[in-house]
Structure 1
Amino acid sequence: MASQSTDQPKSIHDFIVKDARGNDVDLSIYKGKVLLIVNVASQCGLTNSNYPELTKLYEQYKDKGLEILAFPCNQFGNQEPGDNEQIMEFACTRFKAEFPIFDKVDVNGSNAAPVYKYLKSSKGGLFGDGIKWNFTKFLVDRDGKVVDRYAPTTSPASIEKDIKKLIGTS
């Protein structure tokens, strides 16, 4: 949901979301950070390639200003059926993920999380705004503006050059 203002959100920093433990997280805490926002799933064919690469990117660039925000989603093939505790256990144990994992959300449809409505309206996809599958990625600059959107099949490693430009290490 957008913060107190009734205006349209101007950046990703205008949202409050729930973390995987049900706590409110004001995304304004990420002001000044480059964000890679990803809808994740534990049982997807892309899981075993995406999670390790996301973890590696996070380890390499978290101290330089990168944050990866993972939003579990069960809208594609029911590939994220677990509850938040199971999802965190999976990501943190199997893939050593240290980046923030948020509450499971819908990314499409009438119940889509407001933050995802904003992301999609900021950067539509090749065939419309809808998220097509797990591991769609949005790259957000330090000011909270969406600068790019990547297809589920785009590997996180291939986004590294774009991340480096935004964090200033290119």
Structure 2
Amino acid sequence: MLWALLVASAALVAADDGSQCLSQGLTGTVYGSTEATLAGTNVDLTQLFGYVSVVMNPGVYSEWTSQMMTGMNTLLEKYEADGVVGLGFPCNQFNLEQPGSPGEILNAYKYLRPGNGWTPHQNFHLFTVTEVNGDTASDIFKFLRSACPAYTEELGSKASFYWDTLVARDLRGTYEKFVIDKNGKPRYRFAPNVAMTEIYPYIDELLAETPIQPTQFPGVEAGN
């Protein structure tokens, strides 16, 4: 019943392609850690308070790479003056779609997919390879999964998954997207096939909100 009410209240969320996160009363925030980038720098996510962000898990050998990586750059160009950032956590847990060292990964995006000299927008942070599912998943993705129901009950083929314990809220593939509000709370989750242009209305919605100034950043909290 609760899920039905949430879906009914979120008119923008497309059936089977997206879900609304259970952020009301949620403890913790995505903006509570420091993450290492593929370029060898560190990004303090606590500095993103007041920004809307789009989190996704890219994989260079995914069929969605060209569309989603160029789409992210276009999204960030559109919202460059509005306080929107992209947070990419490459993941090798789906069909081994993201192998390689940090330098190899950056070159693969630049010369292979999307190719043509592609580089990330200045507001698109690409972090080191991250596990998003299973017992060894990063705290950020445990937190995201605890807050955001899966958009479909179908898990897909276990043969393409490279982690041990499957649970209902696991990510289904590369290029899932989570839209995070100005307080670092996940608000929406989208399937890999959802185009970047389709999440513009959700970003507009969150940009119109006023963040609540926290007294301190509690950091991410692990969920199931």
Residue 42 (structure 1) aligned with residue 65 (structure 2): no
**Pairs within 5 Å for 1:18-167:** 18-92=36-110, 94=115, 95-98=118-121, 99-126=124-151, 127=153, 128-167=168-207
The letter for the 2-side match of 1:50 is M
Shift of 1:88: 2.0
The letter for the 2-side match of 1:97 is P
Shift of 1:82: 1.9
Asked if the contact 1:40/1:71 (under 8 Å) is kept, the reply is: yes
Shift of 1:17: 2.2
Runs of 4+ with deviation above 4 angstroms:
none
Asked if the contact 1:91/1:97 (under 8 Å) is kept, the reply is: no
Cα displacement string for residues 33-52 of structure 1 (whole angstroms, at most 9, x for unaligned residues): 00000000111011121111
Q: State the alpha-carbon separation in 1 of the partners of residues 199 and 181 from structure 2.
A: 13
Counterpart of 1:15?
33
Q: CA 1:41/1:33 → structure 2, altered by over 3 Å: closer, same or farther?
A: same
Asked if the contact 1:71/1:104 (under 8 Å) is kept, the reply is: yes
Shift of 1:145: 0.6
Q: CA 1:79/1:129 → structure 2, altered by over 3 Å: closer, same or farther?
A: same
The letter for the 1-side match of 2:66 is N
Question: Could you state the TM-score of these two structures normalised by the residue count of structure 2?
Answer: 0.67
Give the percent of matched residue pairs that are identical in Structure 1 and Structure 2: 26
Which has the larger Rg?
Answer: 2
Q: State the alpha-carbon separation in 2 of the partners of residues 110 and 22 from structure 1.
A: 26
Q: State the alpha-carbon separation in 2 of the partners of residues 55 and 24 from structure 1.
A: 21
Give the secondary-structure state (helix, strand or coil) at the position aligned to 2:198: helix
CA RMSD of aligned residues (A): 1.9
Question: Could you state the TM-score of these two structures normalised by the residue count of structure 1?
Answer: 0.87
Shift of 1:142: 0.5
Q: State the alpha-carbon separation in 2 of the partners of residues 54 and 67 from structure 1.
A: 9
Q: State the alpha-carbon separation in 2 of the partners of residues 125 and 22 from structure 1.
A: 32
Shift of 1:85: 1.3
Counterpart of 1:4?
none
The letter for the 1-side match of 2:126 is I
Moved more, 120-129 or 35-44: 120-129
The letter for the 1-side match of 2:188 is D
Q: State the alpha-carbon separation in 2 of the partners of residues 44 and 147 from structure 1.
A: 25
Q: Which runs of 5+ in 1 are unaligned?
A: 1-7
Q: Which runs of 5+ in 2 are unaligned?
A: 1-25, 154-167, 210-224
Q: State the alpha-carbon separation in 1 of the partners of residues 203 and 37 from structure 2.
A: 24
- Count of matched residue positions in the alignment of Structure 1 and Structure 2: 162
The letter for the 2-side match of 1:38 is M
Q: State the alpha-carbon separation in 1 of the partners of residues 40 and 131 from structure 2.
A: 16
Give the secondary-structure state (helix, strand or coil) at the position aligned to 1:63: coil
